[in-house]
Amino acid sequence: QRGMGRLAEVPQIVETLCAVLGRRGDLAGKRVVVSAGGTQEPIDPVRVITNRSSGKMGYALAQAARDRGAQVTLVAAPTALPDPACVEMRHVTTVADMREAVLSACAGADVLIMAAAVSDYRPARVAAQKIKKREGEEEEGLLLHLVKNPDFFLEVPEGVLRVGFAAESEDLLANARVKLEGKGMALIAANDITAPDSGFNVDTNKVFLLDRKGGVEELPLLSKYEVGHRILDRVRELLSGPAPS
């Protein structure tokens, strides 16, 4: 039902209160862009290539930044989550959409935090019609030719403080450090996805924070909202230090 006097849903009231109470927080006046969710690359009008990201980590980060006074833009690949209150939403589907939305939101932003799981590959050709099963294809199966997507992290303007995530199933810290340095990030959250209560589609997360000075901070298992705050504590420190390069 709609009409004058209808009360907003309780979670929305609570979130709005958190946003209002946080207006004078330590990120007041800062513009923060967060990406969340798993991008989808179409195969045909019915099927997509995607991954297990639920969007929970990115949404929690956006809420945490909002609750510390930041002006937040959340670039969200498809998720089942409701839009957070008092956050500017950009809904996207493919990597190309996410690239455009992130790069345009980064103009004039102070911080970018990429929690999204971005598809590394997409089908070279999207079939205009639904691909049908064919008789006699049991032997060879259906072959999909995949091409690489652009890694737009490298295109983000240098003045924006860049924070990334690395979801790894092996050699967590070594792989995360390669991404931190190769992608010009100031900080990376190395995300162990082998534990059942960490990583994709759960409410908690276990991460290590790696910085450009060689520092490694191991965080305990925390709610994703709390992980968001711990990342933002580090962002706050980095913003008050020398300008990012």
- Binding residues for ligand PMT, rule CB under 6 A, total 26
Task: Answer yes or no: 51 catalytic.
Answer: yes
Under the criterion CB under 6 A, does residue 48 sit at the interface with ligand PMT? Answer: no
Q: Does 153 bind ligand PMT (CB under 6 A)?
A: yes
Binding marks (x or -) toward ligand PMT, 165..204, rule CB under 6 A? Answer: xxx-----------x---x-------x-------xxx---
Which residue, 73 or 191, has its beta carbon nearer to ligand PMT? Answer: 191
Contact flag: residue 149 with ligand PMT (CB under 6 A): yes
Which residue among 51, 175, 191, 201 is the active-site one?
Answer: 51
Q: Which is nearer to ligand PMT, 43 or 116 (CB)?
A: 116
Is there binding between residue 118 and ligand PMT (CB under 6 A)? yes
Binding residues for ligand PMT restricted to 17-36, rule: CB under 6 A: 35
Region of 4-12, 42-50, 146-154, 228-236 interacting with ligand PMT (CB under 6 A): 146-154
DSSP the chain: --STTPPPPHHHHHHHHHHHHTTTSTTTT-EEEEEESB--EESSSS-EE--S--SHHHHHHHHHHHTTT-EEEEEE-S-SSPPPTT-EEEE--SHHHHHHHHHHHHTT-SEEEE-SB--SEEESS--SSPPPP-TT-TTT-----EEEPP-GGGGS-TTSEEEEEEEESSSHHHHHHHHHHHTT-SEEEEEE-SSTTSSTTSSEE-EEEEETTS-EEE--SEEHHHHHHHHHHHHHHHHHSSPP-
**114 interacts with ligand PMT by CB under 6 A:** yes
Positions annotated as catalytic residues are 51
Interface residue list for ligand PMT (CB under 6 A) = 35, 53-57, 95, 114-118, 149, 151-153, 164-167, 179, 183, 191, 199-201
